Structures are given as structure tokens and as C-alpha cells.
Chains A and B, each alone.
Chain A
Amino acid sequence: MTAESASTVKVIIDVMLKAEILDPQGQAIANALPRMGFSFSPVSTRQGKRFELTFEHEPTDKEIAEIKKAAETLLANPVIEIFEIRMER
């Protein structure tokens, strides 16, 4: 992990499969958890992807709009995935 200064801002894009799309990886995880002896049993277990874009300044509105476009066209496939963008300071 690289050292981060006080002015670092992380833009986090979380990508998940749409609810109606089969998620076999989430399924495999769900099956593995009780086998490992864990007692919690969620009604749903799904796997997604997280992208982190680190900036050394506060992203401008224009930049955020572009990041959203990048998310729609590259980071996520809107046919089968949804995404959420948030910031971490």
C-alpha cells in the first residue's frame, strides 16, 4: 500500500451482477460458508467487483461525470451489471 497524504481522495466503484443474473461464484461461496462451520446464514450471497481510483485532489464535477461514463462503458457491462460510485476521504 502506498502512503497516502491527507488530500487523497478515493473514488470507489462497486460493480455487482444484476439481481436476476445467475451468480455461480456467489453460490459457491454460499455453499462453502456452512461447510467451514460458520453459523450465520444470509438469505443471499453474491460476489462483485470493486474498483479504486485514487486522486491527490478533490475530483471536479467534470471528472466525476467522466468517471461515471467510464463506469458505464468499461468498468461495468450494463447488460448484466449495476454499479454504484462513492468517495472515500
Chain B
Amino acid sequence: MRVGVVTFPGTLDDFDAARAVRFAGGESVSLWHGDEDLAKVDAVILPGGFSYGDYLRCGAIARFAPVMSSIIEGAKNGLPVLGICNGFQILCESHLLPGALTRNKGLHFYCKDQELEILNNTTLWTNNFKVGEKIVIPLKNGEGSFQCDDKTLAELEGEGRIIAKYMGENPNGSRNAIAGIANAAGNVVGIMPHPEHAIDSLTGPSTDGLAFFTSVLKKMVNA
């Protein structure tokens, strides 16, 4: 079970995502942005960070990287793809997911241990959760406010494609407190908070994030 973790110039949490994959029992494979070859991995993670410094718009430049053309192709054919934070931004910019992430309502970069409610456990990345499960994982970003038009929102809600919502006070002004969404096929998931930082209570607020990674490995074993 090999999970690719992409590094763009400016990516920060690739190391942590790779660690999370190992903690979950998988093998992490480092993928370079300039290389179209996905090394036959079984799944791909686009980690958090500030790819290209967040210049122009977060993820706007990374989406055109050579590796992304292979990932977009793969995703259309069912390849599991998880975008975390900047990765979520890249997925939206590449139109693998609808909507866009914009500047936090409060304008500040905000790092806190955030409570979420899991709403969908049918996707490849969330099937190890229970619906309604409350988890606490770190949120850390300046541009995490999810926005979309009414039509998109209706689709996401109607089709149950919102995978997690913020509990308590909305930390960034995301529409309907949306913290993460999936594509229609359920293989592409974007999430704003960082599950890879909640895999070990020694270094994070909980181990709640691990289930994102065990989910995809479970699915791959059973596939």
C-alpha cells in the first residue's frame, strides 16, 4: 500500500503527511512536482504548506505542475487523492473539487485545535469514521474560508459531499462551516484542517486524524 506525497516548492507538511502514512501502516513515496511519473502509487496526498509562497492565489501556480496532470488524469479514473489545506486549495484551483478557499474572515493566520464533526464516511478517506463523530485536529491557515455559489452548495449538501464541518464558532467564515468536501465519486477529498498533526498525542491534540490515513489503506486492502 503505497501512498504518494507530493512536494512543490514551498510545501511544508509533506514530511508530516508521510509520517502519518507510516503510522497508519502504509508506505509513503515522495513525489516531485516536476515529475509526471506517479511511481504507480495507490493513492496521493497533496500536503499543506505555502506552495509557491501562496503567490497570486494559494495553489494557483502549483495546479499547473507536471505532476498535477498525472494526478488529474488518475483522479478521473478513481485514484484516491487527499488534499490537506494547501492541497485542498490546489484541488479547487484544478477543478477536481468545486468552490474556492479565500482569506479568513478575521484576516489573521489562525492556528488552533479545532473540533470537527464528520458527516460522511463513505469516501475513500473517511470510511474509518462514524457519521456524527466529533474529532479534534489542528487548523492552521490564513486562507481557509470555503466559498461556492448556491448551486454548488445545494449539490454538496444534497449529495452528502460535505465530509466535515467546523463545530462551535466558525473559525474562518467558511460557507455553512464547511471544513472538507469530496467529489461525486468519493475518491477525491479536500480538508482544511490537518489530520497529519493529530496522529500521536505526544505531538498533537489527539490521534483523531489517523483515521483519514487508515481509511484509504483499509479500502486499498479490500479493493
Q: Do chains A and B touch in the complex (CB under 8 A)?
A: yes
**A interface residues (Cβ-Cβ under 8 A, vs B):** 17, 20-22, 24-25, 28, 74-75, 77, 79-80
How many of chain B's residues touch chain A, expressed as a range?
20 to 34
Can you list the 9 inter-chain pairs with the closest CB atoms, starting with the nearest? A79-B100, A80-B100, A24-B107, A24-B105, A24-B103, A21-B147, A77-B100, A77-B57, A80-B147
The stretch among B91-99, B156-164, B187-195 that forms the contact with chain A is B91-99
Q: A25-B103, A80-B100 are in contact. List 15 more A-B contacts (CB 8 A).
A: A21-B147, A22-B102, A22-B105, A24-B103, A24-B104, A24-B106, A28-B107, A74-B56, A74-B61, A77-B60, A77-B93, A79-B98, A79-B99, A79-B148, A80-B102
CB distance from B24 to the nearest CB of A (A): 32
Residues of A within 8 A of B173 (CB): 22, 24
Q: Are B56 and A21 in contact, CB atoms less than 8 angstroms apart?
A: no
Q: What are 28 contact pairs spanning A and B, CB under 8 A?
A: A17-B102, A20-B149, A21-B102, A21-B147, A22-B102, A22-B105, A22-B145, A22-B147, A22-B173, A24-B104, A24-B105, A24-B106, A24-B107, A24-B173, A25-B103, A25-B107, A74-B56, A74-B64, A77-B57, A77-B60, A77-B93, A77-B100, A79-B98, A79-B100, A79-B147, A79-B148, A80-B102, A80-B147
Residues of B within 8 A of A25 (CB): 103, 107
Contact code string B44-64 (vs A, CB < 8 Å = 1, else 0): 000000000000110011001
CB distance from A20 to the nearest CB of B (A): 8
Contact code string B7-22 (vs A, CB < 8 Å = 1, else 0): 0000000000000000
Residues of A within 8 A of B93 (CB): 77
* Complexed CA–CA distance, A74 and B57 (Å): 9
* Complexed CA–CA distance, A74 and B56 (Å): 8
CB distance from A51 to the nearest CB of B (A): 9
Q: Considering only CB atoms, which chain A residue lies closest to B101 in the complex?
A: A80
Residues of B within 8 A of A28 (CB): 107
**B interface residues (Cβ-Cβ under 8 A, vs A):** 56-57, 60-61, 64, 92-93, 98-100, 102-107, 145, 147-149, 173
* Complexed CA–CA distance, A20 and B100 (Å): 13
Q: Considering only CB atoms, which chain A residue lies closest to B64 in the complex?
A: A74
CB < 8 Å neighbour of A75 from B56, B92, B106, B145: B56
* Complexed CA–CA distance, A74 and B92 (Å): 13
Q: Considering only CB atoms, which chain A residue lies closest to B98 in the complex?
A: A79
CB distance from B209 to the nearest CB of A (A): 28
* Complexed CA–CA distance, A63 and B59 (Å): 26
Q: Considering only CB atoms, which chain A residue lies closest to B61 in the complex?
A: A74
Residues of A within 8 A of B99 (CB): 79
Q: Considering only CB atoms, which chain B residue lies closest to A20 in the complex?
A: B149
Residues of B within 8 A of A77 (CB): 57, 60, 93, 100
CB distance from A27 to the nearest CB of B (A): 8
* Complexed CA–CA distance, A77 and B60 (Å): 8
